[in-house]
Amino acid sequence: MSEIKFDDDFFDSVDSFIDVANEKSGKIGPEKVGAALSYASARFNAFIVASSSVDLNQLKEIRDGAKKHFLPIYEKNFDYNLDMYEENYEKYINKFRKQSDS
């Protein structure tokens, strides 16, 4: 698996996904949206792994390696974003709460 560049295209995509998530959160709730995003990410990454294999046998062989690749990425990103919320809690959460109240 290649290393992803965190460039403008990357963050534009992230922002687009978050915009859709925010819109959906108002309709079905943030917990369900979070679960849907997590499922969608897993589904799309499974597709990437499956479509990169030459056949079913290779897919079965690379499965564990793919998990060792993808699972730490989620953990690293989750930790990074929680760190950002801890460092900016008042700013981010107060802004969110003010928007929710209006």
Contacts of 30 (CB under 8 A, 6+ apart): 21
- Say if 1 falls within a structural domain: no
Asked if the structure places residue 15 within a domain, the reply is: yes
Is residue 47 domain-resident? yes
Domain assignment of residue 90, yes or no: yes
* pLDDT, tens only, 49-85: 999 999 999 999 999 999 999 999 999 999 999 999 9
Residue 34 contacts by C-beta under 8 Å, 6 or more apart in sequence?
Answer: 21
Say how far apart CA 13 and CA 61 lie, in whole Å: 31
| Domain presence at residue 87 | yes
Residue 72: which CATH number?
Answer: 1.10.287.3020
pLDDT at residue 34, rounded to an integer: 97
Reported confidence tier of residue 2, pLDDT bands at 50, 70, 90:
low
> Is 3 among the domain residues?
no
pLDDT higher than threshold 90 for residue 92: no
Instruction: Note whether residue 74 is domain-resident.
Output: yes
The total domain count for the chain is 1
Residue 81 domain boundaries: 8-101
pLDDT-based confidence at residue 4 (cuts at 50, 70, 90)? confident
Question: Model-level pTM?
Answer: 0.82
Q: What is the pLDDT of residues 16-38, one digit of tens each?
A: 999 999 999 999 999 999 999 99
pLDDT bucket at 102, cuts 50 / 70 / 90: low
Half-sphere exposure of 54 (CA within 13 A, CB side): 1
For residue 101, pLDDT over 90 is answered with no
